[in-house]
């Protein structure tokens, strides 16, 4: 008996159009077909509000710097019974700066996309531009993490309040973390750890699908070192954090976390 193919989840369909039709094709016209005019991207301390006036021009600058840039998707998490219509995506971007022959970099990100009907209306993301700069300076390129075999065939697995509570508590802990299978920024590659003593955490967005939890948080605390050329400070700072983690046996087990190290360093160097 022939199995009737099931349609993609609407959130997965939009994420697929984002990656395949728009980003990897570097096609602004494709973006206008499914991204709302009032689309806004929050990334680090920056807000790009307006599809045509701010967001598309900002991405076009990246395309100009990396003409062959592409995106690889490592995991997609769909919100369950989610009125906010959220989709979490762990991805990497990669390309040669200046085009063919230029230095090549790979940098990861975690984004939370929001939709209304059949359009994307916003995204909150963190991308590890810090590691991109390291690779461009050194001329040594990091490996691309393995792609998801079927990212667009993801299904929502149901809200898991227990997993959410575990992650919320976990985000109160200091960096670096003890979980070896949670890869934070590029610390698993360089062995250099940003040390940040967390005093409080503001959860901006968080949702779950079975054991997987996706979050955007703003942590307050004290920088204790780990950024080259920046000594520790005795004043409270802010660290923006996005992540996609899996909870197992009552604890955070594995996942990917990206923090806005560049924004933190910029604030620390103002004085």
CA-nearest of 197, 200, 144, 8 to 87 is 8
Cα–Cα distance measured from residue 51 to residue 122, given in angstroms and rounded to the nearest whole number: 10
**183 and 144 in one domain?**
no
Cα–Cα distance measured from residue 93 to residue 249, given in angstroms and rounded to the nearest whole number: 32
Cα–Cα distance measured from residue 201 to residue 222, given in angstroms and rounded to the nearest whole number: 12
Q: How many domains does the chain fold into? A: 2
Cα–Cα distance measured from residue 257 to residue 240, given in angstroms and rounded to the nearest whole number: 11
Please state the separation of Cα 172 from the chain's center in Å: 19
**108 and 28 in one domain?**
yes
Question: Quick check: is 79 in a domain?
Answer: yes
**206 and 99 in one domain?**
no
Out of 101, 125, 153, a domain closes at 153
CATH of the domain at 206: 3.10.450.50
Out of 107, 130, 153, a domain closes at 153
Question: Quick check: is 69 in a domain?
Answer: yes
Q: Tens digit of pLDDT per residue, the chain (271 long)?
A: 566 778 899 999 999 999 999 999 999 999 999 999 999 999 999 999 999 999 999 999 999 999 999 999 999 999 976 566 899 999 999 999 999 999 999 999 999 999 999 999 999 999 999 999 999 999 999 999 999 999 999 999 999 999 999 999 999 999 999 999 999 999 999 999 999 999 999 999 999 999 999 999 999 999 999 999 999 988 999 999 999 999 999 999 999 999 999 999 999 998 6
Out of 94, 123, 153, a domain closes at 153
User: 131: domain range?
Assistant: 10-153
**144 and 29 in one domain?**
yes
């Amino acid at each position: 008996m022939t199995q009737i193919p099931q349609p993609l989840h609407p959130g997965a369909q939009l994420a697929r159009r984002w990656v395949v039709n728009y980003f990897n094709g570097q096609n602004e016209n494709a973006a206008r077909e499914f991204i709302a005019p009032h689309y806004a991207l929050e990334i680090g301390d920056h807000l790009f509000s307006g599809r045509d006036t701010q967001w598309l021009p900002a991405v076009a600058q990246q395309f100009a710097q990396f003409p062959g840039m592409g995106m690889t998707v490592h995991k997609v998490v769909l919100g369950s019974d989610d009125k906010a219509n959220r989709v979490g995506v762990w991805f990497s971007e990669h390309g040669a700066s200046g085009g063919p022959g230029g230095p090549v970099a790979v940098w990861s990100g975690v984004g939370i996309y929001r939709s209304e009907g059949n359009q994307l209306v916003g995204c909150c993301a963190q991308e590890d531009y810090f590691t991109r700069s390291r690779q461009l300076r050194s001329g040594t390129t990091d490996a691309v993490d393995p792609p998801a075999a079927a990212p667009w065939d993801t299904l929502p697995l149901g809200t898991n309040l227990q997993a959410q509570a575990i992650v919320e508590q976990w985000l109160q802990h200091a960096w670096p973390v003890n979980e070896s299978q949670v890869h934070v920024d590029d610390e698993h590659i360089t062995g250099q750890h940003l040390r940040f003593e967390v005093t409080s955490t503001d959860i901006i967005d968080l949702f779950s699908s079975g054991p997987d939890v996706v979050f955007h948080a703003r942590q307050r605390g004290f920088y204790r070192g780990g950024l080259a050329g920046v000594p520790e400070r005795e004043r409270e700072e802010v660290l923006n954090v996005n992540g996609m983690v899996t909870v197992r046996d009552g604890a955070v087990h594995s996942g990917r976390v990206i923090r806005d190290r560049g924004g933190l360093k910029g604030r620390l160097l103002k004085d």
